[in-house]
Structure 1
């Protein structure tokens, strides 16, 4: 029986035999980024050459699975394997099945469909298994001539979010199913104890004024952050408002997403629930910083039988600004 708090399994190409690599692992990292559809797994494993253990077949088509307490956290194809005659350690890296959204391109024209309907259709076309696909209740239209699937889905859900005020996260479950979830606006997790906190504020991408124009170039009005303008001067973004529409909400959202940012890098004991897109309540008396934050990036590391998590927390729930394709004529 393994003394590790996880299992690392290797499945041979074509869904063949399964080999347990857990006892060979030197160190293991499982990570994600809110701006990437794929989660990543990297590991260093011992490959003794004395015949004491069965050597794993590290070949193209191999699938790695990371499990904790019997629950899959990651399933994805092995992308790279590095071995050397000077060492008995092999370095492995894999991406989850988000790779099939990242590396497949499609030609689609959607007219008056919901993003969840489009997502289900795309998944069927490419043989991608699906889990829960967040219902937006919004119909959108867009044309995508030869566009990566992840950018298609991000665009469709972003267009819906502009209209219903919600934000969505596209990801894959631990057992390899596509899912889209509505990002939370309240915390279900708490970080009450940390091993280190780094606090960074940043106005590099600041824009504190939005000028709304008609399609003919007439100024409608400005939406501004007066306090920020007083401190930093005017930094303006231009929006073109369609006839019969009011771009005020979009302008306000732009200000929110291009204002002062505050990010914390927090190191804590391992918790597999701390993944990108999660909302967390930070209660850290040591750093003096507390409040509601969203996880932008997460890195989970197992080494020497210890498990640690490092997350980047953002006090804003950042918007994925991916927009591609063109309007349907």
Structure 2
């Protein structure tokens, strides 16, 4: 049995005054709307942050039906969904969220609504923060930044974190933190996966794939139909690992898959070793291999415990075994509860493919020796622009920055340090945050809003100080690619998908006074 309740969103001071002046009714608080609801769908997906609730209520206007009492469910209003198996059972809260969308068609007798739980605020809110400590502490920091309380976190979220979130959504940051924990668990021989969920308005983390106790999907009892598909569209069965010079240094092949399905090859760009860090190019290259993918689904009688993140037992004509729930949709209509589940098979003993590794040559990384000998390649800005850019790119081209995908300002400082005293000082001061670099340039008198006046060596600033690159003087750029996680020389500086808003005139030879950060 379902019940659904509604509360008005908090009133603004203006709304409160207007209501009192007009002697209007008090806002609805915890109002039961169950008898108005005609159909309802409650769903979740492992690729999305928040669970969703969609429902339709009976609706008519007083001028069409004087007896009917219409509901005014407002955008931002709170929706609570409860469930109990029997009248004597206590209610279980399935959903708590807000109305984000409503639609009314005048020639119909319904009003449609879409709601999301509070994880939607993590997905829609971006943050800039330096996150250090443990994964658990990082989750607390992210949720506090966005204003969402944290509920239960599992024991063991203790992997060390040193992560820069530069204009990332809260969901992206949470997933990055949980990926860090998962990597640490794998190194410790623990096969653990985690998933954020919203329970009672709080962010919780569950262990992915926990089995729904006491539930088995069978054709004889609760399953209408199942589907199963297999695909090799995304398969990759050979990886060639190349160094900075494009030399093939290693090759990794799943020969059985090549024999059965044909050879599908990709290139992996090897990463140079960093100080105090071991770069495991073999593991990273093998991770690019993709095998046959299968996907299953089932339709059946609903069970409110069968939601995304958990796993179930299936005993059916096509499907037998344990399956992880990748997405779920629960439909309630005419007092009937049905569900559609997308499933992923969990083998008792995962197959480990035999991967052939062939070593051809030791990798060569450009100027890696020079970087180690010269403060990792930071110069003093004494060269002219042409020679400086050439030397800077030789030192830092094709590399992964210490800040990884967020390393655009770090790269600009390090590469530009060869010809620009200003950028050399930024690099030596450890400036890796775009807004800081822009503010320092403004203080140094190097910031320009004339985006058409570009000279070779100038730093191009995009959006709201979101990204920076070095102009190459020929319509291209030197910069850090977040998608490839490596520094690149691109041919078109307008291809970023963001507008150019400012220019740092790093082509000028201006230095800054270290004491007051003013131009000398």
TM-score by length of 2: 0.56
Q: Per-residue deviation at 1:177?
A: 1.0
SS of residue paired to 2:406: coil
Corresponding residue number in structure 1 for 2:205: 180
Which secondary structure state, in structure 2, belongs to the residue aligned with residue 121 of structure 1? helix
Please name the residue that 2:161 is paired with. 140
* Other structure's SS at 2:151 match: strand
User: What secondary structure, in the 3-state scheme, does the structure 2 residue paired with 1:131 have?
Assistant: coil
Any stretches of 5+ residues in structure 2 without a counterpart?
A: 12-26, 85-90, 187-191, 348-403, 411-431, 433-520
Match of 1:123 in 2: 143
**CA displacement at 1:150 relative to structure 2:** 0.6
CA contact (8 A) 1:212 1:241 kept: no
Q: Deviations over 1:120-156 (max 9, x none)?
A: 0121222201111233331122212111111111112
1:43-96: per-residue Cα shift (whole Å, max 9, x none)?
Answer: 111024435454322212201111112111111110111123312210111111
Match among 280, 290, 315 for residue 246 of structure 1:
280
What pairs with 1:1-329 in structure 2 (closer than 5 Å)? Answer: 5-14=1-10, 17-49=29-61, 50-52=65-67, 54-69=69-84, 70-111=91-132, 113-134=133-154, 135-165=156-186, 166-173=192-199, 175-184=200-209, 188=213, 189-193=215-219, 194-212=223-241, 221-237=250-266, 238=268, 240-241=270-271, 243=273, 244-255=278-289, 258-284=290-316, 287-315=317-345, 325-326=405-406
How many Å separate the matches in 1 of 2:229 and 2:39?
A: 29
RMSD of aligned residue pairs (Cα, Å): 2.5
Match for residue 321 of structure 1?
Answer: none
Partner deviation per Cα, 1:162-186 (whole Å, 9 max, x = no partner): 232232111211x121111221376
C-alpha distance in 2 between matches for 1:35 and 1:208: 25
Q: CA deviation at 1:37?
A: 0.7
- Deviation (angstroms), 1:239: 5.7
Match of 1:320?
A: none
* C-alpha displacement of 1:225: 2.0
CA contact (8 A) 1:297 1:313 kept: yes
**Residue range with higher mean Cα deviation, 177-186 or 27-36:** 177-186
CA distance in 2, matches of 1:210, 1:140: 30
Deviations 1:206-239 (A, max 9, x none): 1123445567766554443221111223323426
Inter-CA distance 18–299: structure 2 relative to 1 (3 Å threshold): same
Structure with the larger RCO, 1 or 2 (CA within 8 Å, 6+ apart): 1
Deviation digits for residues 296-324 of structure 1 (CA, Å, limit 9, x no counterpart)? 1101001111000110111269xxxxxx9
Structure with larger Rg = 2
Higher helix share: 2
Distance 1:229-1:316 versus aligned 2 partners, 3 A rule = farther
How many residues are treated as equivalent by the alignment? Answer: 313
SS of residue matched to 1:275: coil
Shift of residue 196, structure 1, vs aligned partner: 0.6
- Structure in which a larger fraction of residues adopt strand: 1
Question: 2:288, 2:72 → 1: CA distance?
Answer: 50
Cα deviation, residue 251, structure 1 = 4.5
Of stretches 38-47 and 180-189 in structure 1, the one that deviates more from structure 2 is 180-189
Question: How far apart are the structure 1 equivalents of 2:184 and 2:159?
Answer: 8
* Structure 1 residues 206 and 58: CA distance shift in structure 2, 3 A: same
| Maintained 8 Å contact 2:6/2:77 | yes
1:29, distance to aligned residue in structure 2 (A): 0.2
Unmatched tracts of structure 1, length 5 or more:
318-323
Q: Say which is worse superposed, 10-19 or 70-79, in terms of deviation.
A: 10-19
Distance across 1 between alignment mates of 2:144 and 2:123: 16
Deviation at residue 195 of structure 1 after TM alignment: 0.3
SS in 2 for 1:133: coil
